[in-house]
Structure 1
Amino acid sequence: MKKIAVFADVQNIYYTCREAYGRQFNYRKLWQQLQSQGEIVTAYAYAIDRGDQQQQKFQDALKHIGFEVKLKPFIQRSDGSAKGDWDVGITIDVLEAAPDADIIVLLSGDGDFAILLDKLIHSYHCEAWAYGVPSLTAHALINAASRFQAIEQDLLQ
């Protein structure tokens, strides 16, 4: 049975699904699909903590499914822009999990992760799967993945 490690860039998936489909991603369906492919040994969901009650309910639902939720505080800059990026944290966790996984699953459309997927495939000999909304996923990420899974109607709620 293949060992699967899952890493979800929650903000990226939320905004791309909302923009492309006006709907939310169904993490429970994803979990069920992945369980049919092997054993999920690690699952992290990376989110921004705004202290919002609805967000906390969502985070609790992710925990109930089986994800460990990692939170960063929402930072509002003086110029009005916001900061809340998990790219480095996701990368570190993926590299730590890679030696013990056969398949790394990344939920994100962010092209910055293309280098990471290349590293997984060539240095760790893992399969590197990327899940993203096709129209909003960087071509570099799609091309770097050993398997790109389009987020479409079957993974939405």
Structure 2
Amino acid sequence: MPANNVVILVDVQNIYYTCRQAFGRNFDYNQFWKIATHSADGSPRKVVKAIAYAVDRGDEKQKQFQNILRAIGFQVKLKPYIQRADGTAKGDWDVGITLDAVEYAAEADTLVLASGDGDFGILVQRLQHKFRTRVEVYGAEPLTADSLIAAADQFVAIKPTLLL
């Protein structure tokens, strides 16, 4: 079977903050889509599922961004932004991303994960061993956990070509 089925999962908050911190720029989702939906030899991949996980603050600029993601081809999953009494915030999608990755991995030859979160290292290993899924991780290299880079079949460092 040719390795053409792909699942794409994006940890929007992680990518936003790591790209801002590492490069002072925003991630280019259109360019990312063009790359992630093709294999290394340039042949197109069939997108089984593409999900962008974001925190919903309810502001208009964010809604416009979510509509752009939908227009590209992503399903957008939103979690409410929670401001704690102590001033800290909560908006973590780790469990949701993990559950979807496990659910869709059996349908994919390759799973593309855009995140630098080291907690996903265990997930990557499980997908590889249980489903024989190839995992490509995209992340801002200086802020991507070494354990995640090591677990991935391929790590793609976000470079200026993937930034706006």
Corresponding residue for 2:21?
A: 19
| Letter matched to residue 52 of structure 1 | D
Corresponding residue for 2:111?
A: 104
TM-score by length of 2: 0.94
Corresponding residue for 1:28?
A: 30
Corresponding residue for 1:156?
A: 163
TM-score by length of 1: 0.98
Q: Distance in 2 between matches of 1:35 and 1:103?
A: 10
Q: Which has the higher helix share?
A: 1
- The answer on 1:42 being equivalent to 2:70 is no
1:94 to 83, 95, 101: 101
| Letter matched to residue 68 of structure 2 | A
Which string of whole-angstrom CA distances, capped at 9 and with x for unpartnered residues, describes residues 51-90 of structure 1?
1111110000000000000000000111111111000000
Q: Which segments of structure 1 move beyond 6 Å, counting only runs of 4 or more?
A: none
Which string of whole-angstrom CA distances, capped at 9 and with x for unpartnered residues, describes residues 24-52 of structure 1?
10111011112222111210000000011
Contact 1:62 1:69 survives alignment (8 Å):
yes
Partner of 2:18: helix, strand, or coil? Answer: helix
Partner of 1:20: helix, strand, or coil? Answer: helix
Corresponding residue for 1:52?
A: 59
Q: Distance in 2 between matches of 1:21 and 1:156?
A: 9
CA deviation after TM superposition for structure 1 residue 117, in Å: 0.2
Q: Distance in 2 between matches of 1:90 and 1:156?
A: 23
Corresponding residue for 1:141?
A: 148
Partner of 1:149: helix, strand, or coil? Answer: strand
- Bigger shift: 30-39 or 96-105? 30-39
Corresponding residue for 1:74?
A: 81
When the two chains are superposed, the root-mean-square deviation of aligned CA atoms in Å is: 0.7
In structure 1, the gaps of 5 or more residues are: none
Aligned residues: 157
